[in-house]
Structure 1
Amino acid sequence: MPPYTIFYFPTRGRCEAMRMLLADQGQSWKEEVVTKETWLQSPLKASCVSDCVRQGSCTGSSPSSRTETSPCTSPMPSSDTWAAHLEEGKAQYVQELPRHLKPFETLLSQNQGCKAFIVGDQISFTDYNLLDLLLSHQVLVPGCLDSFPLLSAYVTRLSARPKLKAFLASPEHVNRPIFGGHKI
């Protein structure tokens, strides 16, 4: 039996970064699909814990990087935010996206010019989270990384990690919608 069980909606959503982490770290897991009704009507929501990230070496290589990993992706709009803007405001969102991407390009330039990770020299959950957001945005706004060479190289480098590459090419990842309300 796999050591981890993911209880999540039938989408990539905020859970895809966790799937990336598990795959890249060679961990197995099973999936339990949760419907919106189940989520709202059961005690499942209150019982969920995401301690997996704090285990092992995926929280950064130093106390300061562990502190930095949590807020690091806060300037980036989530794919949930994108979903809210699909029907209205998409043009404005696309126009503002470079402003949200620029801090990450700057951060990479200050951290060994994209030869390391977003924070420090070890991969952390922040890297999987940022990679997921960037990959999703490349689908939703093709070319959004064209003016960000370090972010583009970062996506290419992380996506080439053998176990992560296999996961990203798997039908489970490819066929799972980015978010549930829309078939993207």
Structure 2
Amino acid sequence: MPPYTIVYFPSRGRCEVIRMLLADQGQSWKEEVVTLDAWGQDTLKASCLFGQLPKFQDGDLTLYQSNAILRHLGRSFGLYGKDQREAALVDMVNDGLEDLIRHRGQLFLRNYEEAKAQCLKELPGHLKPFETVLAQNKGGQSFIVGDQISFADYRLLDFLLNHELLFPGYLNDYPLLSAYVERLRARPKLKAFLDSPEHVNRPISSRLKI
């Protein structure tokens, strides 16, 4: 039996980055899919520590909160920078993405088309900090921090790929980020996951149907 179990909705949401990381690290995991109807019955919600999913099992360790899960896996697989300086930068990138993801979530709870238009308008300003950090590391020709992949790379890749679904071709305007995405996508195990039907057919959000 795989040592890891992901309990989540039938969507990418907060868990696709975790799946990317595990796949790229050659790990297997079990999925327990929770439908919105089942979640609405409140029994499972009441059993979750913060009343939220994802829930993540690593052997006898149960974790909630997606960022805590990412940091745990980052430490487990050496994906947290090579020293304290790099770890701080990894945290900075991840926290910056967290702010954007929360902002996007609030937007899309309103009118979908209006939210999409605003998202596109804001995109250059929102991507600029990540372009800056990337450019500062070997001229943008490596990972977001240091010379080895970190959990922040998976988080940024997930963010950029989700926007490719919303705005096909938008990365053409961001050559540094576009090349970065292609480098990560070329990693064999990650490529196999990203090309899999499980990933391709999984919506970004089960609630918003995108």
TM-score normalised by the chain length of structure 1:
0.90
Three-state SS of the structure 2 residue aligned to 1:70 is helix
- Do 1:75 and 1:100's aligned partners in 2 also have CA atoms closer than 8 Å? no
Structure 1 unaligned residues grouped into runs of 5+: none
Contact 2:108-2:116 at 8 Å conserved across structures: no
Match of 2:108 in 1: 83
Query: What SS is found at the alignment partner of 2:14?
Result: helix
Inter-CA distance 41–2: structure 2 relative to 1 (3 Å threshold): same
Q: Is the 8 A contact 1:113 1:150 kept in 2?
A: no
Q: Summarize the Cα distance change of 1:39–1:83 in structure 2 as closer, same or farther, 3 Å threshold.
A: farther
Q: Give the CA deviation at 1:81.
A: 4.6
Residues in 1 aligned to 2:193 and 2:49: alpha-carbon distance in whole angstroms: 27
Contact 2:108 2:115 in 1 (8 A): no
Range with greater deviation from structure 2 (24-33 or 106-115): 106-115
Q: Is the 8 A contact 2:6 2:32 kept in 1?
A: yes
- Verify the 8 A CA contact 1:13 1:80 in the aligned structure 2: no
Q: Which moved more, 1:125-134 or 1:139-148?
A: 139-148
Distance 1:146 1:81, change over 3 A: farther
1:152 aligns to 2:173 (yes or no): no
- Matching of residues 29-44 of structure 1 within 5 Å: 29-35=29-35, 36-37=39-40, 38-43=43-48
Q: What secondary structure, in the 3-state scheme, does the structure 1 residue paired with 2:170 have?
A: coil
For these two proteins, the number of residue pairs brought into alignment is 184
Structure 2 equivalent of residue 48 of structure 1: 63
Question: For residues 104 and 39 of structure 1, do their structure 2 counterparts lie closer, same or farther at Cα, with a shift above 3 Å needed?
Answer: farther
**Root mean square deviation of aligned Cα:** 2.0
TM-score (norm 2): 0.80
- Which has the larger displacement, 141-150 or 160-169? 141-150
Show the counterpart of 1:108.
134
Q: Contact 1:4/1:28 (CA < 8 Å) preserved in 2?
A: yes
Which structure has more relative contact order (CA 8 Å, sep 6+)? It is 1
How many Å apart are 1:44 and its aligned residue?
A: 5.3
- Tell me how far apart the structure 2 counterparts of residues 121 and 21 of structure 1 sit (CA, whole Å): 17
Report the CA distance between 1:45 and its aligned residue: 4.4
Pair 43,102 (structure 1): closer, same or farther in 2 beyond 3 Å: closer
Output aligned runs, 1:93-172, within 5 Å: 93-172=119-198
Deviation at 1:134, TM superposition (A): 0.2
Task: Name the structure 2 match of 1:71.
Answer: 92
Name the stretch that deviates more: 45-54 or 109-118: 45-54
Which amino acid letter does the alignment assign opposite residue 48 of structure 1? L
The answer to whether residue 86 in structure 2 is matched with residue 60 in structure 1 is no
Task: Report the identity percentage.
Answer: 57
| Structure 2 portions without partners, runs of 5+ | 52-61
The answer as to whether partners of 1:39 and 1:45 remain within 8 angstroms in 2 is: no
